[in-house]
Chains A and B, each alone.
Chain A
């Protein structure tokens, strides 16, 4: 039972299975903006064989009461099949992919490559003056790597936002 006086915020990773139809993403985003909820990240892609279902992963934050509201509001959207609060429902995996461009020469360039190796980032493009690293991991790990790159030539970042799935046999399906 959420306590309305509890103002402490928590993060929530919410997975939403939706009909893969026109406007469904706009409905979800409009719900968040219209009701003043946070979106820290959002990803979406079709996930079934026929392409009729999409899975949206939303990372949000708020008080317990707000997060309960977010789930209830999502659940009543007509094209929504299932809503799961992965943060609440037990252990889950949280992954994000980033492409990170670093420009530089000399020692900075060598340092970038060394750190990339330590973080298990792959070099997917290289010129004499630049690298593009590809990195997969938790959002925190990506943050850490990107912050290290900043002083040694970081020029551009492209991130997917988190995707997540529960550990074990439990599955979210229609």
Chain B
């Protein structure tokens, strides 16, 4: 073969910037892009038109493109990819980017930009995208030279997925996309400056194991870091928790990392966590935090948080350690690597567990469990929102289908977290850190694109769903049979709940006035609409919804006065929980200081 015919020759051929971008995406394993075209990115859209390797999903709003990519990423473990135009395209994407930043979701977002010679001239659809997105991303790039283009795309994917994952923006001026240059494959050498530590220090692991072995009242508190570390990390977590006989609680982000049906599972912890999980956290003598970040929704009042506990904190991000809560044993590393090391050291360690103390601790936990903190009374025709979620869980389970749940933000989100059991990781997609209303529908869209045959349900509220309702059109276009299950209580329920508890029942602007007819709305978007008015309708509409292979909106009329319990009021400690409405009279547990918190 002559040199001119070598296959490698294609690598050095001159391509347009847009072609280089697509080639790099393909090489990074991208199969789907969520995006919306515009002037500055037309060259990329032209290149997309001329190839078949990468599928483009046309969303109806750029915010939804990012949430869809988040749903795709969270349900697959891959990097989600977004393409938007300059100016408003980029600014619309910002909410999604911050959402991904807060929840550590790997996203690469390509934004168009005006040509380099116009940057800074207030050109049409110009925005300082790297300036605006600097605090909204893990990292961002503005490509100003052709020769940097391919390397920057490869770099962006490495940064998005390595260490603590996050969103990365690449701002692409139009002249770079049109210009000619050469493609270069992903670099083989290490990144110059960003090399996060993934393997834990074994000395710290031995300390952690010894503490847990000698503990009398241990608890495992696991978070989204375990999910981000891949499905193997969740298996290792279950193995470790079971071999050590420890009680385990998950954060909102961590649900599914440990099977909900396992007797050692205490449920979710935090502001709306279970009584047993929060009291176990409050009363433990050794706490093992793996992949969680002591968020304020979890800790409650910091100076009363787990007052007697020696704390072990394993996290891939050193800046999460000793940020809110001082810990005795910091461990920096990837959750799977940490758990693998913990298991190995546990097995090799000679020390014996104090089985008697552990049994007494479990008896105490079982006593707390006995309060049955998630009980509710479903009587009469009016549907309790908790019951709606519980039936949704039971009836989807009956089908045996792989089920993925997304949510919007508010009361329905908490009820979904409390009453829907997750046995596996990557099945639960919710906006945890940022609390973004409008997240669930586009996220469900992204999940369904990745898992065409799965049952994908957005558990929604009637207020949140209107924040990205335009994506119903995307569902129709791509025949994505996402189910939207609206718990319609005619209020921004969580706002109403706080107004009831903290603001004297003055329901300022929290009533969902002038709601659309969701059945007609679904139909106008080429989907199916259904309504459950009373308890007799509930099971039927859920079954019908599951059976229909098209987008469905189910509008479930639920008790408008229901609140989410248990609840640790802002500024209260884990052992100052409200269990039911009856306990609220006189604003029990809510201090003036607490009222100032969010």
Chain A contact residues, CB within 8 Å of chain B? 1-4, 18-19, 22-23, 26-27, 30, 34, 65, 68-69, 72-73, 75-81, 174
Contact = CB atoms under 8 A, between A and B. Distances in A.
Query: What bracket does the count of chain B residues touching chain A fall in?
Result: 20 to 34
Nearest to B332: A72
A75 B134 CA distance: 16
Residues of A contacting B: mostly:
mixed
Interface string B152-196: 000000010001100000000000000000000000000011101
A49 to B, nearest CB: 16
Nearest to B326: A4
A18 B163 CA distance: 19
B326 A78 contact: no
Nearest to A64: B322
Which 4 A-B pairs give the minimum distances between C-beta atoms?
Answer: A72-B319, A78-B139, A4-B326, A78-B194
Nearest to A69: B323
A75 B319 contact: yes
Given A1-B328, A78-B139, A23 B134 contact: yes
B159 A78 contact: yes
A78 B138 contact: yes
B142 interface: yes
Contacts of B321: 72
A3 B135 contact: no
Interface of B: 130-131, 134-135, 138-140, 142, 144, 159, 163-164, 192-194, 196, 302, 317-319, 321-323, 325-326, 328
A1 B325 CA distance: 12
Contacts of A4: 302, 325-326
Contacts of B318: 72, 75-76
A91 B144 CA distance: 42
Contact of B142 (A22, A76, A79, A174): A22
B198 to A, nearest CB: 14
B319 A69 contact: yes
B323 A19 contact: no
Contacts of A2: 322, 326
B102 to A, nearest CB: 13
A23 B130 contact: yes
Contact of B193 (A3, A68, A73, A80): A80
Nearest to A33: B135
B192 A19 contact: yes
Contacts of B196: 76
A88 to B, nearest CB: 15
Contact of B135 (A18, A30, A79, A80): A30
Contacts of B130: 23
A19 B134 contact: no
Given A4-B326, A65-B326, A69-B323, A76 B163 contact: yes
Most-contacted residue by chain A among B135, B193, B322 (CB, 10 A): B193
A81 B192 CA distance: 8
Contacts of A174: 192-193
A76 B196 CA distance: 8
Contacts of B325: 4
A34 B135 contact: yes
A99 B194 CA distance: 38
Contact of A79 (B131, B193, B326): B193
Most-contacted residue by chain B among A18, A23, A79 (CB, 10 A): A23
Contacts of A69: 319, 322-323
B193 A78 contact: yes
11 contacts: A4-B325, A18-B193, A19-B193, A22-B144, A23-B134, A65-B326, A75-B318, A75-B319, A76-B319, A78-B159, A80-B193
